[in-house]
């Protein structure tokens, strides 16, 4: 879309960056026309996600959480967000907790993904592989992923998108995790990014009228 303003997106990561990779590929294939990922921030210095960002010519920085006070950590994040004029944040495998004060500065602008159909298997202690272990222990036939806006602490906020994924009888937590990522998380994240980015662009255009 020539000449169109785009929402400037920062992606927060902590590990390997598979969800980041899905977002970057979606951007490169035109699935996020109203947004542009311009910055990746990692809470861990050695996160492979930073290499993924580099491979796609996206700026990436570590803002280490380990050993830093919450205020210092969030001040480091905010400095980068302001420097690169970020409009929205996507939490893509970001394992650090953000304070309520930080979240309140970004109303309807922080997108998070959770590997279950909220309200199932969410809240304290439910993250990563633990979610899929719980789903298998409960014996559910359907699981999936949910993208939501982070407007409250802990996992509150408005649900944007959900996608169900079938659980197979012989699933292990690792196999189920991979299926949920491939069939739900990697599909929903770009869609959610475009939804929020389009809203930001529309609001900007209305202000300029």
Known catalytic residues are 114
Buried b (16+ CB within 10 A) or exposed e, 17-41: bbbbbbbbebbeeebbebbbbbbbb
Count helices and strands (H / E) in the chain: 7, 7
Instruction: Tell me the C-alpha distance between 27 and 58, whole Å.
Output: 12
What is Dmax (Cα atoms) for the chain? Answer: 57
Instruction: Tell me the C-alpha distance between 162 and 106, whole Å.
Output: 22
């Amino acid at each position: 879309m020539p000449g169109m303003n785009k929402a400037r997106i920062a992606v927060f990561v902590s590990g390997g960056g598979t969800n980041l990779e899905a977002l970057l590929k979606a951007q490169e294939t035109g699935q996020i026309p109203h947004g542009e990922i311009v910055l990746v921030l990692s809470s861990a210095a050695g996160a492979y996600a930073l290499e993924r960002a580099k491979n796609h010519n996206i700026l990436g920085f570590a803002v280490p959480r380990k050993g830093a006070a919450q205020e210092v950590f969030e001040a480091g994040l905010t400095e980068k967000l302001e420097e690169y004029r970020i409009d929205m944040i996507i939490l893509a495998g970001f394992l650090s907790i953000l304070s309520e004060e930080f979240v309140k500065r970004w109303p309807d602008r922080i997108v998070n993904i959770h590997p279950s159909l909220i309200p199932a298997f969410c809240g304290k202690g439910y993250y990563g592989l633990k979610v899929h272990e719980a789903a298998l222990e409960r014996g559910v036939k359907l699981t999936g992923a949910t993208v939501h806006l982070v407007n409250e602490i802990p996992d509150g906020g408005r649900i944007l998108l959900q996608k169900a994924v079938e659980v197979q009888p012989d699933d292990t937590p690792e196999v189920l995790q991979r299926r949920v990522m491939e069939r739900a998380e990697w599909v929903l994240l770009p869609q959610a990014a475009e939804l929020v980015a389009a809203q930001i662009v529309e609001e900007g255009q209305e202000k300029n009228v």
